[in-house]
Amino acid sequence: MPTINGSDVKRVVVACDAGMGSSVMVASTLRSKLSPLGIEVVHTPVDEIPADASVVMCHQGLAQRAQTKVPDTVVIPFAIFMGDPAFAKVENAIKTGQTLES
Amino acid sequence: MSTPDIQASQANKNRTGNGVAASVQRVGRFLSGMIMPNIGAFVAWGLITALFIETGWLPNEGLAEMVSPMITYLLPLLIGYTGGRMVHGQRGAVIGAIVTAGVIAGASVPMFLGAMLAGPAAAWVLKQFDKAVEGKVKSGFEMLVDNFSLGIIGAALAIVGKWAIGPVVTQLVNWAGNGVDFLVNHNLLPLASLIVEPAKVLFLNNAINHGVFTPLGSIDVEETGRSILFMVESNPGPGLGMLLAFMVAGPKMLRGSIPGVAIIHFFGGIHEVYFPYILMKPKLIASTILGGMTGVLVGTLMGNGLSGPPSPGSIFAYFAVCPPNAIVGMLLQVTLAAVVSFVVAWFLLKTDKTTRKENEEFDAAQAHAAATAAA
C-alpha cells in the first residue's frame, strides 16, 4: 500500500467520474483550507489523474478505479461530499506531518 | 462508534460487485467523455431551440434556421473531434472530425451515435499508423508525412463513413427511436427508472444520461422540438424527496448536513451529493425508483419534454430548456416525483430498526452531554 508523509504533500487531486461536477465542488472547499498551507488542490476525471499527484481524494465508489490508474499514489476515499472526516484527516496529516495511507 | 466509522463500514459493506461496477463505469465514461466536454454547445443549441422554434418563447423563423445546422453538423463534429482526441490527442481529434463529416453526409438523421463510433475508431487507425512509422521518417520530412498521412487516411475513412457507417447507424438509430416511441406510446418508459436509479448511485449517472439519453433525446428534438428522454435521469425531484425524508426521519447525526446537500443537489444540479445517503441505507433506492417512475409517467401522460439536455440536472437548467407550454407539466413532473420519493423514503426510514437504534443512542449521548455540562 502506498504511503506518504503529510509534510511531503504538494498537490492534492480530487477526482470524480467526469471531472466537471462533484470534484470541482469538493476541490474548491478543500482549496480554501489547504492553499494557505501552500498545497495545490486540483480536480480531474478519475481516468485522468496525473502521475505527479501527492494524494488523490475521491468518493469510495470510484476509489478502485483511481487506485488502478495511479497504483503508487495514496488514494483517500470519502463517503459523503460535505463534512466527511476524510477531509479533516488529510488536512491534519498535512499540518502535523502524519503518514497517510491508501 | 463515531459517525464516520459507521458511515464508512456501512458504505463498504454495501459496495457489492465493485469490479463489475468499475468496468461498466469505465465503458460509460468513454461514451459520456465524448459528450460531457461539449455540453456547453448542447446548452446553446437547446436555448436557441427553446427560444426560437415555432412553439418557443420568442418564435423567430430567421434565428430558428440555426437549429438544424447545429444539430446536424456542429454537435456531431464536436463529439467526433472529442472522441478522437481521447484516443490519439490533437491528431486523433482532427481525423475524428474528418470521418464524422463523412458519416454525417451518409446519414439522414443526426449522427451522435455515428460520431461516437467513428471519431475514436478513426483516431485508433491513425494511432496505429503513427506507431508503425515512428522513428522511420527521414529528418525534414516529418511534417510532410504527418499532414499527408492524416489527410489520406482521413479521406479514405471518410468514404467508409459515408458509405458504411452513416447508413448502418441511421438504421440503428431508427430502430432505437422506434423502440423508445413504443415505450412512450405504451406508457412503459417509467420502467426505465428501474435501471436508471440504481445505476445512478453506482456513479453511472453520466454514462446513462450522456451516453444514452442525450444522443437519443436530441434526435427527438429535431422531430418534435422536445424530448422526454432528457427528463428520465436528470429529474432532481426523486433525489430531493429522499434527502428531505432523510432530514426529518434519517439518522439524527447526519440530519444537519442535509439542507446544504439538498441545495447543491436541487439547485446546483450535482446529483452525486445524494448518492452516499442511499449507499448508507440501500433500501432507500426504492424511494428514488418509485419517485423516478412517477415523474416519467406524469411526463409521458402530459406530453412533457425539454428542448435540450438539462445539464447539470438542476431545476434552473430545467426552466432554461423547457418549452413555454410544458412548464406546468415539468413542475408537476418534478414535484410529484419528489413527493412520492419523500413518502417512500420517510416510511422506510421510520420503519428502519438500525436508524431507530442509532437515534436512541444519539439522544442518550446528547442527554448525557447536557447532564455533564449542567453538572
Grid cell of B155 as nine digits: 479521406
Point out the catalytic residue in the list A4, A9, A12, A16. Answer: A16
Chain A residues near residue B202 by CB distance under 8 angstroms: 61
Q: Which residues have a Cβ under 8 Å from the Cβ of A54 and sit 6 or more positions away? A: A4, A8, A9, A10, A11, A12, A73, A74
pLDDT tens for each residue of A20-61: 888 998 999 999 999 999 999 999 999 889 999 999 999 988
Using pLDDT thresholds of 50, 70 and 90, give the confidence band for residue B18: low
What is the predicted pLDDT for the residue at B160? Answer: 95
Beta-carbon contacts below 8 Å between A and B: 85
What is the predicted pLDDT for the residue at B375? Answer: 66
Contact between B161 and B106 (Cβ < 8 Å): yes
Average pLDDT of A75-90?
A: 91
- CATH number assigned to the domain covering A10-95: 3.40.50.2300
Chain A residues near residue B277 by CB distance under 8 angstroms: 80
pLDDT tens for each residue of B147-184: 999 999 999 999 999 999 999 988 988 888 888 888 88
Chain A residues near residue B276 by CB distance under 8 angstroms: 59, 79-81
Tell whether the model's pLDDT for residue B7 goes beyond 60.
no
The count of other CB atoms within 10 Å of the CB of residue A32 is 10
Using pLDDT thresholds of 50, 70 and 90, give the confidence band for residue B3: very low
Using pLDDT thresholds of 50, 70 and 90, give the confidence band for residue B17: very low
Site from B86, B272, B277, B281 to mutate, A interface, most A CB atoms within 10 angstroms: B272
Give me the interface pTM, i.e. the ipTM. 0.76
CA distance linking residue B142 with residue B157, whole number of Å = 22
Distance from CA of B83 to the nearest CA of A (A): 14
Query: Does residue A59 sit at the B interface (CB-CB below 8 Å)?
Result: yes
pLDDT tens for each residue of B208-263: 888 889 988 988 888 888 999 999 999 999 999 999 999 999 988 888 889 989 99
Nearest-CA residue of chain B relative to A66? B22
CA distance linking residue B96 with residue B115, whole number of Å = 8
Chain A residues near residue B38 by CB distance under 8 angstroms: none
What is the predicted pLDDT for the residue at B302? Answer: 93
Lowest mean pLDDT among A91-100, B2-11, B108-117, B354-363: B2-11
Grid cell of B267 as nine digits: 439547485
Domain assignments of chain A as residue spans, ordered by start:
10-95
Taking CA B308 as the corner, what is the angle to CA B307 and CA B311, rounded to the nearest 5 degrees?
140
What is the predicted pLDDT for the residue at B359? Answer: 87
Contact between A81 and B273 (Cβ < 8 Å): yes
Site from A81, A84, A87 to mutate, B interface, most B CB atoms within 10 angstroms: A81
Is residue A58 annotated as a catalytic residue, yes or no? no
